[in-house]
């Protein structure tokens, strides 16, 4: 992978979440600046909606407990503020940029993954939210270990 420039990533933890605890609830809000190409990762027990812009081009993710462990669910809003007219373009951008977003989450929360190494093998499910059926879908995107 290695698309991420760690110098362009800012990570913020919001209490009560720490660098290593808890697993649940642990939510990620990843936003970016189109101007500087900086990424901003907020890790907390709730999503950082105060960091979300009207474009709705953020990636939200959270851990879920499953029968045999955990899974990381991520959510992207394909339609955004512009509605279905630009869904194809937004979908293409999300698909292209999701590897970078997942790498930013994995790198930005690396102390957490070191404390819970089993989570590196958890499945990642991406929920693409759209009013257009072909863009409204759920896809398997590997495991956090794939984005080290």
Percentage of the chain modeled with pLDDT above 70: 96
How many degrees, rounded to 5, is the angle at CA 19 between CA 15 and CA 21? Answer: 75
Query: Alpha-carbon distance 126 to 74, whole Å?
Result: 5
Query: The domain containing residue 102 runs over which residues?
Result: 6-147
* Residue 54, in any domain of the structure: yes
pTM of the predicted structure, to 2 decimals: 0.94
**More confident: 74 or 85:** 74
Q: Has residue 1 got a pLDDT over 60?
A: no
Per cent of the chain over pLDDT 90 is 84
Residue 139, C-beta contacts closer than 8 angstroms, at least 6 positions apart = 125, 126, 128
Amino acid 3: pLDDT: 86
Residue 48 lies in a domain: yes
Residue 84 lies in a domain: yes
CATH number at residue 17: 3.40.20
Domain count along the chain: 1
How wide is the angle at C-alpha 127 spanned by C-alphas 90 and 131, nearest 5°? 55
**8-41: per-residue pLDDT in tens?**
999 999 999 999 999 999 999 999 998 898 999 9
Task: Tell me the pLDDT tens digit for each residue of 108-140.
Answer: 999 999 999 999 999 999 999 998 898 999 999
Which letter does DSSP use for residue 95 in this model?
H
Beta partners for residue 73, in sequence order: 62, 125
When pLDDT is cut at 50, 70 and 90, the band that residue 49 belongs to is: very high
- Tell me, yes or no, whether 1 lies in a domain: no
């Amino acid at each position: 992978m290695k698309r991420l420039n760690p110098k362009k990533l800012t990570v913020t933890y919001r209490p009560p979440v720490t660098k290593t605890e808890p697993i649940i609830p642990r939510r990620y809000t990843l936003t970016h600046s189109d101007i500087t190409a900086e990424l901003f990762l907020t890790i907390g027990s709730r999503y950082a909606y105060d960091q979300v812009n009207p474009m709705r081009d953020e990636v939200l993710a959270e851990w879920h407990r499953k029968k045999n462990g955990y899974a990381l669910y991520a959510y992207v809003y394909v339609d955004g503020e512009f509605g279905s007219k630009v869904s194809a373009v937004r979908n293409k951008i999300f698909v292209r940029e999701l590897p970078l977003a997942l790498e930013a989450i994995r790198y930005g929360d690396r102390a957490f993954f070191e404390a819970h190494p089993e989570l590196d093998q958890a499945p990642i499910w991406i929920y693409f939210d759209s009013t257009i059926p072909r863009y409204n879908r759920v896809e398997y995107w590997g495991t956090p270990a794939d984005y080290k």
